[in-house]
Amino acid sequence: MKPSAARGAVRFGHTELPEEQRAALRKAVKFEWITLGFLAASTALVYAVLGNSQAMKAAWVEDLLSFLPPLSFLIASRTIRRRPSEEHPYGFHRAVGIAHVVAAVALTVMGAYLIVDSGIGLVTAEHPTIGGFDLFGQTVWLGWVMILAMLLTAGPPVYLGHVKMKLAEKLHDKVLYADADMNKADWMTAVAAAVGVAGIGLGWWWADAVAALVISASILHDGVRNTRAAISGLMDKRARTYDDAEPHPLGSRIDAYLSGLDWADTAKSRIRDEGHVFHVESFVVPQDGKMPSMEQLESARNACIDLDWKVQDMVIVPVAELPAEYLPGGAASGGES
């Protein structure tokens, strides 16, 4: 958790983070550790009262899987600090994408497994057996303890999710986003499991399996959605906002800036999202086919880098006309909104 070498100089590859992002990163690391601590406590608690409820089992597996995104984030946020080297000229930013894929595939596989497992329980009319539990010398129904455990673990992730969501936006971190998104929805899992157990109490043996199916479906849904997002990231899909809601506005800002230069006629960029930072290739058509000077090119590049901390790895290519083969879709540039 200690900041790297010189405090104040936190880097993602060779990108030095601005103060706002540096603070967000520190806070995100702290909150991911808090998340891990909470998960350790909650998995232990739920395991202790697991009993024969399939819904509780599904909720517990989801808790276990919830370890993956924070761990991925913590590992990746260390790895990407390494500077680019001769062997890794683009830096180590892709560590984030790889961590994302690993976590997403685990979610997908477990979600699918639990759907089959719970479905079998429903089809074979498995009646879940929940008996007594010794609570300070009293024998109470274990179901009450299960419901209590689920309701206790329902609240904290919602709070953690809200905090991490804000940080994910600042850091443009999709693993953190996925993690926060799952945390925010976690209370539904807890409530579904509690309802399933309460259903058993009412004598509805099927309620448990149905609740388990609901939980498994939500795990699978998270898994598929995250796998898709992670893979399209690794496939160099055009840069989008942290929540994948829309193309990242930075693209059109860069194009607008470059097109507005007094030596430029028009400009378009293609941008890929390396994890936190962008790789930008901007094609600029100079006015009247006159080559810009070295100073003009340098100052244009520096101005673009100053637009946003995510832009660092950038090349400007003067061209006679915009190359359609690199800029498919004509008007659409790397990140037009």
Partner 1 sequence: MNKPFAAAVLISALTLTSCGTSFPADPDGTLDRVSGGVLRVGASENDDWVTVAASGEPEGSEPALIREFASRLGAEIKWSVGTEHVLAADLKHGELDLVIGGLNDETPWEKEAGLTRPYTESKDSRGKTHKHVMLVAKGENAFLLELDRFLMAKAPK
Binding residues vs partner 1 (CB under 8 A)? 52, 126-134, 139, 141, 143, 147, 151, 154-155, 158, 187, 190-191, 194-195, 198, 200-205
Nearer to partner 1, 164 or 238 (CB): 164
Q: Rounded distance, CA 230 to CA 235, Å?
A: 9
Q: Rounded distance, CA 99 to CA 102, Å?
A: 5
Nearer to partner 1, 109 or 191 (CB): 191
Smallest separation, CB 245 to partner 1 (Å): 22
Nearer to partner 1, 143 or 318 (CB): 143
Smallest separation, CB 163 to partner 1 (Å): 15
Name which of 218, 223, 232 is nearest 188 in CA terms.
Answer: 218
Residues belonging to the chain: 337
Smallest separation, CB 185 to partner 1 (Å): 10
Name which of 149, 217, 148 is nearest 185 in CA terms.
Answer: 217
Q: How many CA atoms lie within 13 A of 7 on its CB side?
A: 5
Nearer to partner 1, 64 or 152 (CB): 152
**CB count, 10 Å around CB of 275?**
28
Smallest separation, CB 98 to partner 1 (Å): 33
Smallest separation, CB 45 to partner 1 (Å): 16
Smallest separation, CB 52 to partner 1 (Å): 8
Nearer to partner 1, 59 or 229 (CB): 59
Task: List Cβ neighbours of 185 (8 Å cut-off, separation of 6 or more).
Answer: 161, 218, 222
φ/ψ of 132, rounded to 5, equals: -85, 165
Per the listing, tokens 């390494």 go with 82
Q: Rounded distance, CA 1 to CA 15, Å?
A: 20
Are residues 92 and 169 in contact, defined by beta-carbon separation less than 8 angstroms? no
Sign of the dihedral through C-alpha 134, 135, 139, 142: negative
The rounded radius of gyration (Å) of the Cα atoms in the chain is 25
Nearer to partner 1, 127 or 228 (CB): 127
Nearer to partner 1, 13 or 196 (CB): 196
Q: Which two three-digit tokens encode residue 151?
A: 């309701």
Smallest separation, CB 243 to partner 1 (Å): 19
